[in-house]
Amino acid sequence: MAAKAGRAVDGKLEGEPATAKQATSKARRETSGDTYVNSGNGKRQPMYTRKGKLTEGYYLQELTALQEELVKLQYWVKEKSLKVAIVFEGRDAAGKGGVIKRIVERTNPRIIRVVALGVPTERERSQWYFQRWSAHLPAAGEIVLFDRSWYTRALTERVMGFCDDDEYQEFLRSCPQFERMLIRSEIAVLKYWFSVSDEEQERRFQARAADPKRRWKLSPMDIESRDKWVDYSRAKDAMFEYTDTKESPWYVVNADDKKRARLNCISHILERISYEDVLPPPIELPPRAEHGGYIRPPLESQTFVPARF
């Protein structure tokens, strides 16, 4: 069932019992002060570093617990034929891709899939603006994660001058109606804005520029956007003014700390979509059948990848 005002996305009233409310690990529920119970050795260990960051062990244990709940969620979505669209927006280097990566790390790509569209073609530019996004909306039993979305018009296109004032104003008028139409069509819509400070964004840009493995993340558009911080702030404020509606609100994720942002966002998704544990029981595999008479071709007749490791 679609999201409705004051209700979770499956139609249940907020506050009703849901599996998501236990979406933290046993260690989290057994915290005492600044320590947690390590599930590997049963010992209490620190939750935070000296700088106040989450320790790696605590972060990974909580992430694993949340990922187990995401697997339960995907089974529920499939069984109940739910349709969920989750929008991830924010400034460049805000951490959107990081949380999406952790969501899909252990889930079925046929149920939870990512949409990250590139620059529109000439044909797409001539279409109704929402048309190319509509083609990727979820069918029954699917969750679609939009790594940037139709809000590109309110942000990048507006700031970089890729749309004119008429197109921009029409988007602001049409977007709330578009999302209401999705909700009436029983598509649940969740929207997350990843908020990162000017200083932290610059630190991440510098890290990407220095690291050959991450340099691909730093596009010419990212470099140009460094000088348009205030312009993006104004565009984001205007976008919120028009599209932060009762039916489809924006949820802001404090993203200066990547690990906390990932845990907070995933746990919130699990809270917003009420679900039950319908995991199938453990599978007992029958003995393999005998296949007599087969003779494997000589290994010398095949081309193998060199065993360098």
Tell me the longest C-alpha to C-alpha distance in the chain: 74
**pLDDT at residue 293, rounded to an integer:** 83
Is 71 within 8 Å of 107 (Cβ atoms)? yes
**pLDDT at residue 22, rounded to an integer:** 52
Indicate if the pLDDT at residue 191 is higher than 60: yes
- Close Cβ partners of 23 (under 8 Å, ≥ 6 residues apart): 65, 66, 69, 267, 270, 271
Encoded amino acid at 30, one letter: E
With a pLDDT cut of 90, the percent of the chain lying above it is 79
Average pLDDT in the 276-295 region?
Answer: 90
Give how far the C-alpha of residue 174 lies from the chain's centroid of Cα atoms, to the nearest Å. 25
Indicate if the pLDDT at residue 4 is higher than 50: no
**Confidence band for 10, pLDDT divided at 50, 70 and 90:** very low
**pLDDT at residue 8, rounded to an integer:** 46
**pLDDT at residue 217, rounded to an integer:** 86
Average pLDDT in the 283-294 region?
Answer: 87
Q: Please choose, from the candidates 147, 151, 146, the residue with its C-alpha nearest in 3D space to the C-alpha of residue 130.
A: 151
**Confidence band for 220, pLDDT divided at 50, 70 and 90:** confident
**pLDDT at residue 292, rounded to an integer:** 80
- Close Cβ partners of 213 (under 8 Å, ≥ 6 residues apart): none
Indicate if the pLDDT at residue 16 is higher than 50: no
Alpha carbon distance 70, 31 (integer Å): 23
**Confidence band for 135, pLDDT divided at 50, 70 and 90:** very high
Is 87 within 8 Å of 190 (Cβ atoms)? yes
What is the average pLDDT value for the chain, to the nearest integer?
A: 90
pLDDT in tens, 60-100: 999 999 999 999 999 999 999 999 999 999 999 999 999 99
**Confidence band for 25, pLDDT divided at 50, 70 and 90:** low
**pLDDT at residue 29, rounded to an integer:** 54
Average pLDDT in the 217-240 region?
Answer: 91
